[in-house]
Amino acid sequence: MNMVSPWTSRDTLERNVPLIRLEEDADLREIYEFGKKLVKVASELSMKPHTLRHRQNGLLKRSADQRSTAKMLGHEINILKQVNHLHIIHLQEVYHTAKMTYFVTELCVGGDLKQLLQRKKFLTEDETRHIICSLADAVVYLHRRDIVHRDLKLENILVKNYLDEDDDGRINIKVTDFGLAVKTGGVGIENIIREACGTLVYMAKNLLTCLLNADPAYRMSANQLLENPWITVRR
């Protein structure tokens, strides 16, 4: 069986992404017209701005200027500068102010895969095959560059545009949220890769631990159990 991906991965060295300093957060509104929020992904606030200067659309991400959050966001930006792939979110430019860090990416108007599945109720076999192949192609691309995402889930896979004309009329996905991603090869990387990270509600081990906790104050309630994704999401 021929397992070669039908998509062409875009290879490049680290890209030159503009890093722009602004005096005030309000200065950004001189560049972008803010639209409605499309989807919230982890610490990411994704919005639909329209740039007045360049006549382009993009996603805007902002982060509170806390040391740990700012460090994670800076790490994510460095990772995104090193990748250039059809199914990985494309970073366009970054804005810094005294209190906030913003970055602009390509626009994904279809929300995320979780929202898409909730709207459609189910995906066809062909749609599922296309999404899995696209995702696998992106993961192979990352791993060949010694990058491990570590937080792949439905909410971190955006939909560029449902039935995107640029993707043969099929669902065009974009892997996003590289805040927990790591580059392999450094000192202690084996321990980092093996440590638990990501969204706890997606971890079956965490679910069992919460159920078996001897302290009622920390034990998962019946309602919390029934609302857990391992119970509510059909597989």
Can you read off the two tokens belonging to residue 83?
């990748």
List the CATH number of the domain containing 152: 1.10.510.10
When pLDDT is averaged across residues 54-70 and rounded to a whole number, the result is 62
The chain-wide mean pLDDT, for the chain, equals 75
Classify residue 11: in a domain, yes or no.
Answer: no
Residues 161 and 128 in one domain: yes
Q: Is 147 helix (H, G, I), strand (E, B) or coil?
A: strand
The winner for highest mean pLDDT among 129-143, 157-171, 220-234 is: 129-143
Both 165 and 224 in one domain: the answer is no
Q: Are residues 33 and 90 in the same domain?
A: yes
8 Å CB contact between 50 and 32: yes
Q: Are residues 172 and 129 in the same domain?
A: yes
What does pTM read for this prediction? 0.71
Active site residues: 151
**Structural domain contains residue 55:** yes
Q: Please, which contacts does 231-234 make with residues 24 or more away whose CB atoms are closer than 8 Å?
A: none
List pLDDT tens digits, range 128-159: 999 999 999 999 999 999 999 888 889 899 99
Kindly report each contact of residues 146-149 with a partner whose C-beta sits within 8 Å and lies 24 or more positions away, as own/partner.
146/183, 146/184, 146/185, 147/79, 147/82, 147/83, 147/181, 147/182, 147/183, 147/184, 148/181, 148/182, 148/184, 148/193, 149/175, 149/178, 149/180, 149/181
Long-range contacts (CB closer than 8 Å, 24 or more residues apart) made by 22-28: 22/95, 22/96, 22/97, 23/97, 23/98, 24/97, 24/98, 25/97, 25/99, 25/100, 27/97, 28/95, 28/97, 28/102
Does some domain include residue 53?
yes
Mark which of 105, 125, 160 sits at the end of a domain. 105
In a domain, 163, yes or no: yes
The residue type at 93: E
For the chain, strand residue ranges (E) read 19-21, 32-33, 37-41, 44-47, 50-51, 59-64, 91-96, 100-105, 147-148, 157-159, 173-175, 182-183
Q: Residue 164 — very low, low, confident or very high, per pLDDT cuts 50/70/90?
A: very low
Pair (189, 166) in one structural domain? yes
Are residues 117 and 100 both part of a single domain?
no
Residue 32 phi, psi dihedral angles, 5° rounding:
-120, 145
Residue 43's domain is classified under what CATH number?
3.30.200.20
Where helices occur in the chain by DSSP H, the ranges are 67-81, 113-120, 125-144, 189-194, 204-211, 222-227, 229-232
Q: Do 81 and 117 have their domain in common?
A: no
Same domain for 29 and 96: yes
pLDDT of 110 > 50? The answer is yes
Residues 128 and 187 in one domain: yes
Looking at the structure, tell me whether residues 212 and 181 fall in a common domain: no
For residues 104 and 58, is the Cβ–Cβ distance under 8 A?
yes
139 and 171, same domain (yes or no): yes
Please identify, among 83, 105, 127, the residue that sits at the C-terminal boundary of a domain.
105
Return the higher-pLDDT residue of 194 and 44: 194
What's the number of domains the chain is made of? 3
Question: Which of the listed residues 63, 85, 105 is the one where a domain comes to its end?
Answer: 105
Q: Which of 235, 165, 230, 234 is nearest to 201 (CA)?
A: 230
Residue 70 lies in a domain: yes
Token pair in block for residue 217 = 């104050």
- Per the structure, the complete domain to which residue 144 belongs is given by 113-194
pLDDT digits (tens, 9 = 90+) for 180-220: 888 886 554 555 555 555 554 455 666 777 777 778 887 87
Exposure string of 180-193, with b = 16+ CB inside 10 Å and e = fewer, is bbbeeeeeeeeebe
**Same domain? 164 vs 217:** no
In a domain, 5, yes or no: no
Residue 14 belongs to some domain of the structure: no
pLDDT, residue 218, reads: 79
